Every structure is written in C-alpha cells, then in structure tokens.
Amino acid sequence: MDWGMRNRLAGIIKPDTGRCVMLAIDHGYFQGPTTGLERPGEAVAPLLGYADALMLTRGVLRNVIDPGRRIPIVLRVSGGTSILRDDLSDEDITVSIEDAIRVNASALALSVFVGGPHEKETLTNLAKLCDEGQRYGIPVLAVTAVGKEMSRDARYLRLACRIAAELGAQIVKTYYCEGFEKVVGGCPVPIVIAGGKKIEERDALKLAYVAVSAGAVGVDMGRNIFQSKWPAQMIQAVRSIVHDGKTDAQAWEEFQHATGRS
Ligand code: R5P
C-alpha cells in the first residue's frame, strides 16, 4: 500500500490502538436537516475533540467546519437521492476527486446497495472510486447500505462487506448483527459499525462493545451520539470502549457519573 494511503488510514484508525471512533454527520445528504443536525456546526463543536475522524459532505464541511481544525475528514461522495423516493439505491458519485483533494479528504465514502435495484451501478461506482483513490493515495470507505426490503442478518452483511472489500474498499462500514464474527471473518479489510437509529444510551454502549468484541475496529456513529441529550458524554463513553478496552458496563458507569446521575 502506498505511503500516502497508509498515512491517511493511520489518521483515521489510530495506530496505537488499531481502533477508530468516527463521528458521522453526513445524514443530510439524503435526509435533509436530520434531527440533531439542524445546525451541524453547533452540534459537532463540543464533539470534535473526541472524534478520530469526521464523516460528512463537502457542503457541511465547507460551511461549518473550521479549516484550522486538524481532524481527518471522511468525505461522503455518493448521493443523488432523497427520502422522498422509495428507492434510495439510485446513487451516483457526487464529488470529483479534485474537489475531494482540495478539501484534503482522508477518505472517500460511498454507499453500496447489494441486492438493491441499483446494485450494479453502486458497485461499479465503488470500483471507479477505488481506482481514483488508488491514483491519489486516498482510501475508500464503502457503506453497506440496506434498503427497506433488505435484511441485516450475518449472511447478507458478510456478502455485502466481502464484495465491497473485493472491489477495493480499504474500510467497510456496516451494521452490527447476530453472528457478527462471521461478517468480520469474511472481510479482509477493517470494519466499522454504524450506530443506526437512536436507542437508549445504555443500549448504544452495549452495541459498541459487542461490535468491537466481535472484531470491528470501531464505530462510525451518528444519531446515537448527536441525538443524545448528553452527546459529549456519550462520545467519551464510546471512546472508553473502543480505545480504552472498557466494557459497556464500565462505560455506562462513567457516563452516568459524567452526566451527574450517579
Ligand atoms: C447513512 O447513510 C450515513 O452514512 C450515516 O452516517 C450512517 O448510517 C451512520 O450514522 P448512524 O450512526 O446515525 O446510523
């Protein structure tokens, strides 16, 4: 692997722990002003110090993130759909490689919809993006997006993750599921998990714990952080699990203490 690509990956997956806490705030690319991200600059300001990387679109990046802030950017480069459509899989590449370089992206993020109506287009877009990334030493993070009809079981997710890695993705983002070891075991590149819909903080910490215990290198979490009443305490609790080897019970205790509830 080229030096530049290794260097960018080392900015995202921390070499001292081999783990990563990525903060995802790219939801607006198809959801518009997602709850908790109506003012993304204000939402993320207290969180940036605890995130190893920030996943977002170039629009939010340019408008609300201080360029003097040294945080690796995982740039969302796929889109073209909205929640008004039934089929969210009809995505294309929405950012040129030149513009990704201009904003100093550390990685490029694109969704693939394995089994979806536009499976072929999203997978060939991933392959093209990986070619561009290879040309300039920029890693690609493939998101195994699930449409409304697609299940999230290990059989499906291991297929989708493996295909993403085979096509050239350097990191895969997917969902946690029962039998997650099989998903990790079948994927030759690091896996981070999405948090999914907002759940109780205690349950979200458990999710982070079982995912890293099953072999994920970390999380790319959004709603379970920025939609929490205590987002800064929540991301710190997630960090304790991902980087400090704490159990979810220990992180929960820290969280309760930090929020003044114990
Ligand atoms: C989904 O398409 C986006 O990439 C989100 O960033 C992703 O799902 C992670 O966010 P959350 O933890 O809110 O699921």
> Residue range 90-94: average pLDDT?
96
- pTM, whole model, 2 decimals? 0.97
Report residue 1's pLDDT band, with 50, 70 and 90 as the boundaries: confident
What are residue 53's DSSP bridge partners?
22
Does ligand 1 lie within 6 Å of residue 207's CB atom?
A: no
> Residue range 87-116: average pLDDT?
96
> Residue range 87-108: average pLDDT?
97
Using the predicted structure, report yes or no on whether residue 262 has a pLDDT greater than 80. Answer: no
Using the predicted structure, report yes or no on whether residue 149 has a pLDDT greater than 90. Answer: no
User: How many Å apart are CA 262 and CA 259, to the nearest integer?
Assistant: 8
Averaged confidence pLDDT in the chain: 96
Using the predicted structure, report yes or no on whether residue 210 has a pLDDT greater than 80. Answer: yes
**pLDDT tens across 122-133, in order?**
999 999 999 999
Using the predicted structure, report yes or no on whether residue 86 has a pLDDT greater than 90. Answer: no
- Ligand 1 atom closest to 196 (CA): 14
Does ligand 1 lie within 6 Å of residue 79's CB atom?
A: no
> Residue range 113-138: average pLDDT?
97
- The rounded Å distance from CA 221 to ligand 1 centre is 7
> Residue range 182-208: average pLDDT?
97
Residue nearest to atom 3 of ligand 1 (CA): 27
User: How many Å apart are CA 66 and CA 139, to the nearest integer?
Assistant: 23
Whole-angstrom CA distances from 186 to 114, 165, 175 are 16, 10, 15
Does ligand 1 lie within 6 Å of residue 173's CB atom?
A: no
Which CATH architecture describes the domain 3-196?
Alpha-Beta Barrel (3.20)
Higher pLDDT, 261 or 8: 8
Using the predicted structure, report yes or no on whether residue 217 has a pLDDT greater than 90. Answer: yes
Does ligand 1 lie within 6 Å of residue 28's CB atom?
A: no
pLDDT at 152: 85
User: How many Å apart are CA 145 and CA 122, to the nearest integer?
Assistant: 10
Whole-angstrom CA distances from 135 to 3, 131, 160, 209, 220 are 12, 6, 25, 36, 25
How is the chain split into domains, by residue range?
Answer: 3-196
User: How many Å apart are CA 251 and CA 8, to the nearest integer?
Assistant: 29
